[in-house]
Structure 1
Amino acid sequence: MNKAVIVEAKRTPIGRKNGMLHRFGPHELLIPLLNHAAKMSNNKIDDVIIGNVVGPGGNVSRLAVLEADLPVSIPGLTLDRQCSAGLEAIRIACCFIQAGAGKCYIAGGVESTSTSPFLSRARFSPDKIGDPDMGVAAENVARTYGITRELQDEYTLLSYERSFHAFKQSLFAKEILAVNEYNQDEEFLKERDIEKLVRRARPVFKKESGTVTAANSCGINDGASTALVMEEGLAREMGLQPVLRYLDSEVCGVHPCFPGIGPVPAIQQLLERNKLTIAEIDLIELNEPFAAKIVACSKALSIPYSKLNVHGGALAIGHPYGASGAILITRLFYEVQRRKNCTYVLAAIGSGGGIGLAILFEVIGED
């Protein structure tokens, strides 16, 4: 079987909805990422696979390919698996390579909530099952799994602390390709008293009995992220250093009223199939739409915070829906190179409708 490896991963800076990236459509956010990956691969690209959630519809990937002046022979594929879309795009590229369908893909996701033409979200589930908004679903998870406001706020402060520390240490600089003059995440453009904001925030989705607040929830954001996924032999022939080798993945469904718990069975099944335990996974990136979800998943899987989202995540820097899964991979890509002592790493995400997706990678040392 062919082996799929990731040889490069980049993201744009992340902007708030109607913030610094508000004038860029999704295809425009992708252009610097596509040009960078195409140059690295000498345009040996079989396809560009992009996850996108909130529009504008059509084939955003194909439009971006043409706008970026890539060869017209690259068809472009756009997919929607809600917040899992960017991670799913990378998973599909890896599976295509394993199957021999191609040898070189640009895969990831993009979201421009600022330019979305849709005033309300799409349906996640039929009413007869339950179709809660994601904030209400986070409350469902918190209540069912016993995740208190205090636990959520504690994790939120940890995520912010880690993200701001990484920013001040310039750890995010290698991840980011500028979009015009914008080269850092909007969240870091001004100092704020985060602890005061977190402690004082009131419940948003269930005002009387809720525990989920605006502070322990992610923002609504714009941004993009892609990985260059190649067949390992081709990458080495081209003198490119593989960093992450795809081993396996799992996607599964959970009840739509509890989408935040989706990563749990996906990770459990993935580890069981590969005869691994959480203790043997060196780093885990788990998307952070709500602190309630992270704490619940961490407790259910016995994941220590020391190996989970070690430089923070979406609670602090934002959640551009379709791109967030690819951002998880980008974060792992650079962190394993800094640590140089990792063997297995894992990225996972849960999405609207009750979907959990997880990917397992083996870390490749330098030749």
Structure 2
Amino acid sequence: MALASKGIFVVGAKRTPFCKYGGSLRELPASQAFAAAAKDALNSGNLNPTLVDSTVVGNVNFLSQCDGGKTPRYCGIYAGVSIDKPALGVNKACGSGLQALLTGVTEILTGSADVCLTGGTELMSSLPILVRNVRFGTTLGSTYHFEDHIKKRFLDSYTGLSLEKMAENIAVKYNISREMSDDFALKSYLKWKAGQESKHFNDELTSLKVILRKKEVLVDRDELTEVNITSDNMAKSLPLLEDGAVVTSLNSSVPADGAAALVLANEATIKRNNLIPLARVSGWATVGVDPLETGLAAVPAVKKLLQVTDTDIDSVDLFEVNETFAAQVLATVTELKIDDSKVNVNGGALVLGNPVAATGARMAVHLVHHLNHIKAKRAIAVSSCGGGQGVAVMFEAI
């Protein structure tokens, strides 16, 4: 699926700080995290929440969160959307936040909505510890093990491989060394640090108050898992796989908590309410690939997007490529022949962490603000998704 479009605009875009696993957002419901960003996005866009016709929210690990499958519904209600307006949850693994945006775009293009509240939310801290084979009774003398859903590397049923093994295979295929991966991850941290110091995130961040250990805490900046990343501790990090040499915990993204919201509107709504849009959604593409090539699905997604929008790679000023693993971003940049100075210019998931369904929406939020900040024209957010899928979205400055 791919389409070029000119009549859909982003009128508000905000995100919560991304917080480390077990950090400041750990006791906040996923719907409340999204609502905080959504209310700020609506307010910053000068849009009354009652004008929202539909809420579409990415949320992958919904069963572990307090509202379960109802999370997207309450994302809208808690943000002020009228109760009579519907909501939809989207799960496209790491591309969920971007797919939620595209689903909202489609609703507007088909005329079923004028304004859509979209984005993604994920509280990885709420993921469970599992105990298998006890639901229907236990056996005397049997041993039952706790499985940490965060730490356990689950094998994909189709490929029989873990994501870490697939990333290791990509590194081998593209001759990506451990040093190259470590260098990319370190640069992601340094770019985020420079962006933080230059206040590049100020326009996109939503501050919120949470209750943590029975005390009210203000969360107003990103909370990193690793607060002092250096080339020395990068080099000392051990490979994650016994038979691997490249993929480590420091050149891979780690679980995190966060939410990001984008408000979309058509041209008639913009004119009728005198809104000032942040950017235009000018095209998108979604693709499927062999699940063995999961980490490279961003490549055909971008190629298809450029084709449908009649655009060449050099005319795109900014790229946000999901940093699940450093190796797969390096391979993507190589395959697409992207100028690496345009890629993840203020860091990515390698430093911020990866709240799965929120990451794609965070990339989009950052791009629509940074386009205006540096007065650029065009940007693409792209993610490879588990199971062999890719999703890419193009934004243009107004």
Interval containing the TM-score (normalised by the shorter chain): over 0.9
Q: Give the count of matched residue pairs.
A: 360
Q: For 1:337 and 1:118, locate their aligned partners in 2 and report how far apart those are by CA, in whole Å.
A: 43
Q: Which residue of 2 aligns with 1:44?
A: 51
Q: For 1:86 and 1:144, locate their aligned partners in 2 and report how far apart those are by CA, in whole Å.
A: 29
Distance 1:102 1:123, change over 3 A: farther
Contact 2:189 2:229 in 1 (8 A): no
Q: For 2:332 and 2:154, locate their aligned partners in 1 and report how far apart those are by CA, in whole Å.
A: 21
Q: CA deviation at 1:275?
A: 2.1
Q: For 2:91 and 2:304, locate their aligned partners in 1 and report how far apart those are by CA, in whole Å.
A: 23
Is the partner of 1:21 in helix, strand or coil? coil
Q: Which residue of 2 aligns with 1:113?
A: 124
Q: Which residue of 2 aligns with 1:79?
A: 90
Q: CA deviation at 1:292?
A: 0.5
| 1:297-336 Cα deviation digits (max 9, x unpaired) | 0000001111111111111111110000101111111111
Q: For 2:386 and 2:345, locate their aligned partners in 1 and report how far apart those are by CA, in whole Å.
A: 25
Contact 1:55 1:117 in 2 (8 A): no
Q: Greater CA deviation, 193-202 or 157-166?
A: 193-202
Matches within 5 A, 1:153-302: 153-180=182-209, 181-187=218-224, 191-204=227-240, 206-302=241-337
Q: For 1:72 and 1:361, locate their aligned partners in 2 and report how far apart those are by CA, in whole Å.
A: 31
Distance 1:220 1:264, change over 3 A: same
Contact 1:48 1:77 in 2 (8 A): yes
Q: Greater CA deviation, 64-73 or 353-362?
A: 64-73
Contact 1:125 1:353 in 2 (8 A): no
Distance 1:51 1:58, change over 3 A: same
Q: Which residue of 1 aligns with 2:27?
A: 23
Among 343, 354, 359, which residue is 2:393 paired with? 359
Q: Which residue of 1 aligns with 2:60?
A: 53
> What's the C-alpha RMSD, in Å, of the aligned pairs?
2.1
| 1:178-225 Cα deviation digits (max 9, x unpaired) | 12110111118x852422221211111x23432100110111100000
Distance 1:270 1:67, change over 3 A: closer
Q: Which residue of 2 aligns with 1:346?
A: 380
Residue identity in the other structure for 1:50: V
Is the partner of 2:331 in helix, strand or coil? helix
Contact 1:113 1:320 in 2 (8 A): yes
Query: TM-score with structure 2 length normalisation?
Result: 0.85
Higher strand proportion: 2
Which structure has the larger Rg?
A: 2
Residue identity in the other structure for 1:279: D
Q: Which residue of 1 aligns with 2:360?
A: 325
Q: For 2:37 and 2:277, locate their aligned partners in 1 and report how far apart those are by CA, in whole Å.
A: 18
Residue identity in the other structure for 2:331: A
Contact 2:299 2:336 in 1 (8 A): yes
Query: TM-score with structure 1 length normalisation?
Result: 0.92
- Percent identical residues: 30
Q: For 1:317 and 1:258, locate their aligned partners in 2 and report how far apart those are by CA, in whole Å.
A: 25
| 1:266-293 Cα deviation digits (max 9, x unpaired) | 1111112222211011111111111001
Say whether 1:70 aligns with 2:81. yes
Q: For 1:193 and 1:148, locate their aligned partners in 2 and report how far apart those are by CA, in whole Å.
A: 19
Q: For 2:112 and 2:278, locate their aligned partners in 1 and report how far apart those are by CA, in whole Å.
A: 22
Q: Which residue of 1 aligns with 2:135?
A: none
Residue identity in the other structure for 2:366: R
